[in-house]
C-alpha cells in the first residue's frame, strides 16, 4: 500500500474542496500521492535553477560553483561512457538524474514520500530512456540502418541475434525500474518502521546511509542510460 503523507492528504483535500465549489465531486483522491510528490520535485528543480542561473558571473559565486560541479558530474559520466559526442545528451540525462536523485531524497523529509518508492515513477523514467536512446539511434543511423544493428555482425546471423537483441533491449527498462524501485521502497520502509518503533535516534544511521544510496541509485541509473545511448549511436556494432 502506498504511503500517504500528510502533505499529499492536504493537497487532495484542497483539490476536492475547490472542485466541490464547481459542483465536481471525487469518490477518492484526485491525485495519487506519488504524483503529488513528483510534481513537488519538478517544481523545486524548476524554481531552483530559475533562481540559480539568474546571476551568473565571470567570478563564480558559491551557487555557481555548485551548478558547475553538478554539470561536471554529468559531463564526466557522459565522457567516460559515450565520449565527447555524448555531451549533447547532458540536458536530458542531467534533468532525469536530478529528478531521480531529489525524488529519492524527498522521502527522508517528514510527511513526504519518495515518488520513486512507487513503481510508476521508476517505470516512467525507464520507459523515457528506452524511447530516448532508440530515437537517438534512429536519428544517427536512419530507421533501417538502426534496425540492421539488431542482426549482429552479419545479416545472415540475424535469425540468431535478432531475438537475443530484442529480449536484451526490452529487459533494460525492466531492470532499471526494478532496481530503482526496490532500493528506494526498501529503504523507505525500513526508515518508517524504525521511526514507528524508536522515534528519535535509531533511524538516524539508516537515514544517513539512505542519503548515500539515494544518490548512488541516481548515479547508476544515469550511468546505465549512458551505456545504452553509447550502444545506440555507436558507428560499429
So what's the pLDDT on residue 104? 95
So what's the pLDDT on residue 52? 82
Contacts of residue 157, defined as CB under 8 A and 6 or more positions apart, other chains included, come to 151
pLDDT in tens, 33-77: 999 999 999 999 999 988 888 877 777 788 888 889 999 999 999
So what's the pLDDT on residue 92? 96
Distance CA 37, CA 124 (A): 14
| Residue ranges of the chain with per-residue pLDDT less than 50 | 1, 237
DSSP for 154-186, written as a single string: SGGGHHHHHHHHHHHHHHHHHHHHHHHHHHHHH
So what's the pLDDT on residue 237? 47
pTM of the model: 0.91
DSSP 119: T
Distance CA 91, CA 176 (A): 20
Please report the sign of the dihedral spanned by the C-alpha atoms of residue 204, residue 207, residue 209, residue 212.
Answer: negative
Residue 64: exposure state from Cβ atoms within 10 A (0-12, 13-18, ≥19):
middle
Asked whether 115 and 184 are in contact (CB, 8 A), the reply is no
Binning the chain into helix, strand and coil, the percentages to the nearest 5 are 80, 0, 20
Amino acid at each position: 500500500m502506498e504511503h500517504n503523507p500528510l502533505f499529499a492528504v492536504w493537497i487532495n483535500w484542497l483539490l476536492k474542496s475547490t472542485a466541490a465549489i464547481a459542483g465536481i465531486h471525487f469518490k477518492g483522491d484526485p491525485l495519487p500521492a506519488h504524483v503529488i510528490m513528483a510534481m513537488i520535485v519538478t517544481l523545486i528543480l524548476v524554481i531552483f535553477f530559475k533562481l540559480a542561473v539568474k546571476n551568473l558571473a565571470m567570478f563564480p559565486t558559491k551557487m555557481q560553483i555548485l551548478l558547475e560541479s553538478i554539470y561536471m558530474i554529468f559531463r564526466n559520466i557522459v565522457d567516460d561512457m559515450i565520449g565527447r559526442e555524448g555531451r549533447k545528451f547532458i540536458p536530458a540525462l542531467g534533468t532525469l538524474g536530478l529528478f531521480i536523485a531529489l525524488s529519492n531524497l524527498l522521502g527522508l523529509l517528514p510527511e513526504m514520500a519518495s515518488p520513486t518508492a512507487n513503481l510508476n515513477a521508476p517505470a516512467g523514467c525507464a520507459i523515457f530512456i528506452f524511447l530516448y536512446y532508440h530515437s537517438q539511434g534512429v536519428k544517427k543511423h536512419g530507421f533501417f540502418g538502426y534496425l540492421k544493428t539488431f542482426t549482429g555482425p552479419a545479416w545472415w546471423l540475424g535469425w540468431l541475434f535478432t531475438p537475443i537483441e530484442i529480449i536484451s533491449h526490452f529487459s533494460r527498462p525492466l531492470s532499471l525500474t526494478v532496481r530503482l524501485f526496490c532500493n528506494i521502497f526498501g529503504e523507505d520502509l525500513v526508515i518508517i518502521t524504525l521511526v514507528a518503533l524508536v522515534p528519535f535516534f535509531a533511524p538516524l544511521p539508516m537515514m544517513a546511509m539512505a542519503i548515500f544510496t539515494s544518490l548512488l541509485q541516481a548515479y547508476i541509473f544515469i550511468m546505465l542510460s549512458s551505456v545504452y545511448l553509447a550502444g545506440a549511436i555507436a558507428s560499429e556494432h
